[in-house]
A = this chain, B = another copy of it.
Amino acid sequence: MQLRVRFAETDQMRIAHHAAHVVWLEAARVEWLRERGLRYRDLEDEGVSLAVAGLSVQYRAAARFDDLLDIDVRLLEARSRRLRFGYRIERVDGADRATLALAETRHVPTDASGRAVRLPGEWLTAMRGWLEPGPAAPDV
């Protein structure tokens, strides 16, 4: 999943603000699902959300305005009450790639009122088929 750093995402250090990365991770998760034939919108329409319960990011190098980024997403853990994703954010510049950040998010399926629920069976089955070995959580 590729995206460009928006001007609004920069701060006065002339780099992308560190909270922007958190938004990019989410956008990358949504596209990762879409590539597998699932729309997160549909899951929400069924009344299930994947609430973020944990987040860690290791920032290695700055992202700058207009940089083209590539976000690699991996599903590290898939249980009925717990999902865990790993991410690598890279800057793409022609043939060059530089790792800007590593991250991990942990999710809990919830219903519309925010209560923890089990992930619907078909989603869980699908998810398990997409598990990928990944690096350990970033050292924050």
Q: Chain A 38-71 against B: per-residue CB contact (8 Å), 1 yes, 0 no?
A: 0111001000010111111111001001100000
Q: In the complex, which residue of chain B has the Cβ closest to the Cβ of A16?
A: B12
Oligomer: number of copies: 4
A132 within 8 Å of B (CB atoms):
no
Interface segment out of the listed A20-28, A91-99, A123-131: A20-28
Q: Are A51 and B114 in contact (CB under 8 A)?
A: no
Binding site of A, secondary structure by majority: helix, strand, loop or mixed? mixed
Does A136 reach chain B (CB closer than 8 Å)? no
Q: A137-B140, A140-B54 in contact; A8/B30 too (CB < 8 A)?
A: no
Partner of A30, one of B7, B12, B49: B7
* Total number of A residues with any Cβ neighbor in B under 8 Å: 43
Q: Bound complex: CA of A56 vs CA of B137, how far in Å?
A: 11
**Contact residue among B22, B41, B44, B110 (Cβ-Cβ distance under 8 Å from A18):** B22
Q: A27, A41, A55 — which one has the most chain B CB atoms within 10 A of its CB?
A: A55
